[in-house]
Structure 1
Amino acid sequence: MSASAIDALFAAEPFPRSRGGRFVAALRDCARLQARRFPALARLYAREGFSPAALRSEGAVERLPFLHVAVFKEHDFRPRPPFRPALSLTSSGTGGQRSRIVLDEGSLRRVRLSARKVYAALGMVAEGRPANYLCMTYDPRQAKDLGTAFTDELLTSFTAKAEVHYAIRRPSGGEFRFDLDAALAALGRMSRSGLPLRVLGFPAHVLFTMRAWRERGLPPLRLGPESWVLSGGGWKGHAGDAIPKVEFYAEVSSWLGIPRANIRDLYGLVEHGIPYVECRLGRMHVPDYARVIVRDPWTLKSLPHGRKGLLQLVTPYLTSYPSFSVLASDWGLTRPLCRCGTPGRTLELLGRAGTAPAKGCAVTAAELLRAA
């Protein structure tokens, strides 16, 4: 069975004025491919009375069965041989709570393409213009299979690269640690280069570096309107406390000397792969490559715009792993429009669900800071 409908969706623009039927056609083909590859998924469909052939309209998408994200942390769904993955990725949870997904060549190509198109549509791709990168995340040469490292390495491809510095490294024979002194030195060096700077990674690390910069009596920077902060990974600080987002944006804008609109956050899961990125007004946009369904936690019925619930994330890019329809452990709601002019729905995150949530990126970042 071909993936032509899937590829056609990802060849199109991420925020079209009219949805058309590309997403539904791609999802139908993806569901068929997945059911053939994963017998457990076919059994789930049979139990739920669902057939991929029923995916004929947008309204049918919410009837697509899902697996909770915790399932992928407890079970190995890698396809059986002779399947050979193009890339394997893990989530950044700790304490044994990691997901491992595998991407075939088509899935890897589509996830890269989707990220580039989403960021380009929101004004963050500058091909041919060199920039420095201060990445507050794992060095991908040492964390080759970690999803956050893959994401940040991908984000460095949106301009020509000058200097790239990764702040989380593993000394020979040791554990990963955030090297504050090296990050401060790199920031000082890059700020004097005359090139734009892009700061990527965990908000906790950006905040930690900013406070250390100020404590050492170093002056505010003036990096200008071509520099950016592209954050992601959650909003827990050094002591595990919540980082106030509005205050973070204001302080970082003042510290680096960049427009407030040039600080953008990203939401994503390694199990899902599609980025939900903020526009200039701070609203996360849902691209046409995915659908976000908000579900009541008790009934699991879908909820209308403006109602808080658990997030079901659906995308047909992934044909090599059964997490193309996943229920996340995050609260959120959707809105139908954004004043920025970008078409489509927006996503508002409202925190992690559960009284004992699995450790995620933000908690891992806080633990690294305590060791810094």
Structure 2
Amino acid sequence: MTLNELFQLPPYGLAAPEKESALAENLSELTRRHYGNCPEYRRILDTLGYDPGRRYAYSELPFIPVRLFKAHELRSVPKEQIVKTLTSSGTSGQAVSKIFLDADNVRNQSKVLNEIISSFIGKQRLPLLLLDTEMIKKDRSMYSARGAGIIGFSIFGRNSVYALDADMNLDMGKIAQFCEKHADTPILMFGYTYMIWQFVVQALEESGRRFHMNDAILFHIGGWKKLKDQAVDALEFNRRVRACLGNVRIYNYYGMAEQLGSVFVECEHGHMHCSNYSDVIIRRSSDFSVADTGERGLIELLSVLPTSYPGHALLTEDEGEILGTDDCPCGRLGKYFKIHGRIKSAELRGCSDTYERR
């Protein structure tokens, strides 16, 4: 099944046997493609004993650590075909990943993101409240995965308003005017987890101010490390967001700059879901063998989207576990899983966790 054929299906519509066959075909082809077109990637795979003529199950395909993109510029297309270079987030002084995208890669990422998010909110564009500052578009030092996320999510909204001013303070008047204008319409909101917590939830709690939205949807992404340090889990985060903002449906999702577009959205039952375009393998840290369902290990992310760079099989620095396949109560097919957080020895990274107030 080709990528174009996958695009014709609902994003969570393939059951395990069909999906595994489609992923094996596409991921094997991507491995051969990048092996032939990215010299650095080829040297890595030669060292690992990869044989381009052999048929592999996709769990057997070689993977590379996500941190490799911080040390090397990896691309599989000529430099003149690159239309966008995306950088990952990092604290001051850290190296950042550089992801090189050609026009096909950009188009497919946008299409997949649209299919996944629309399956949760519908096709209609909703009034959009961005829980960030408009400076994200003007300050090039802030334009990385965070800026790309803000701009990328904006395609789902209309009449966009930024909730924070240039000093990262809530613009109460602007928010109140936005809520009043769209009181009879569902409202869409987007932001980064820790920034929502610090600059929206805690700021509203300290001010004693509340907004009573009748029907809102919040998508948020980003690390949970600082919230866990404050003993704030997803249930507490959701409870206090609703206490501040009203009737809000809240969707957390997981993704990274190195596989932009292939996001994993948390359903109504608190489970992260793999779409038709991606998958997750949990690997034991002792020998990188495939862990069993319910067994904790390192998360490997697989995506059929990275065609201009070898980012289709990446070992992350996050720990998680598979909860099941094709049987989530929400009705979506595919694997669903839980994230336990960053492994202790990994460097701090993430759009919201590494934000430093200036």
State whether TM-score is above 0.5: yes
Letter paired with 1:25: E
In structure 1, the residue matched to 2:58 is: 61
Q: TM-score, normalised by structure 1?
A: 0.85
Contact 1:310–1:329 (8 Å) recurs in 2: yes
2:310 to 291, 314, 322: 322
Q: Find the aligned partners of 2:173 and 2:188 in 1 and give their Cα distance.
A: 15
The answer to whether residue 218 in structure 2 is matched with residue 229 in structure 1 is yes
- CA distance, structure 2, for counterparts of residue 9 and residue 51 of structure 1: 27
> Within 2, Cα distance between the matches of 1:185 and 1:104?
41
Aligned position for 1:173: none
1:136 positional shift = 2.4
Give the fraction of aligned pairs with identical amino acids, expressed as a percent.
25
Moved more, 27-36 or 5-14: 5-14
Cα deviation, residue 81, structure 1: 4.5
Q: Say if 1:207 and 1:319 are closer, same or farther in 2 by CA, change over 3 A.
A: same
* Residue 232 (structure 1) shift: 0.5
**Distance (whole Å) between structure 2 residues aligned to residue 329 and residue 168 of structure 1:** 33
Following superposition, the deviation at residue 334 of structure 1 comes to 1.1
The equivalent residue for 1:348 is: 338
* Residues 158-214 of structure 1: CA deviation (Å, up to 9, x unaligned): 24x113216375xxxxxxxx52143x3432221221244322112222222222223
Aligned to 1:332: 320
Equivalent positions of 1:289-300 (< 5 A) are 289-300=277-288
Please name the residue that 1:175 is paired with: none
Question: 2:194, 2:222 within 8 Å by CA — same for their partners in 1?
Answer: no
Q: How big is the shift at 1:80?
A: 7.1
Deviation at 1:145, TM superposition (A): 4.8
The residue type equivalent to 1:68 in the other structure is P
Kindly state the Cα deviation for residue 222 of structure 1 after the two structures are TM-superposed: 2.2
In 2: Cα distance, 1:80 partner to 1:317 partner: 14
* Corresponding residue for residue 202 of structure 2: 211
Number of aligned residues: 346
Report how far residue 97 of structure 1 moved: 2.5
- Structure-1 separation of matches of 2:180 and 2:202: 20
- Assess, with a 3 A threshold, how the Cα gap between structure 1 residues 356 and 132 changes in structure 2: closer, same or farther: closer
- 2:241 counterpart of 1:252: yes
1:120 aligned partner: 118
- 2:34 matched to which residue of 1? 34
Instruction: Specify every segment of 5 or more residues in structure 1 that has no aligned partner in the other structure, as ranges.
Output: 170-177
Q: Please tell me the root mean square deviation across aligned C-alpha atoms, in Å.
A: 2.5
Q: What displacement does 1:317 show?
A: 0.8
How much has 1:87 moved relative to structure 2? 1.5
1:271 aligns to what SS in structure 2?
A: helix
TM-score (norm 2): 0.88
| Conserved 8 A contact 2:259-2:311 | yes
In structure 1, how many angstroms separate the alpha carbons of the residues matched to 2:104 and 2:279? 20
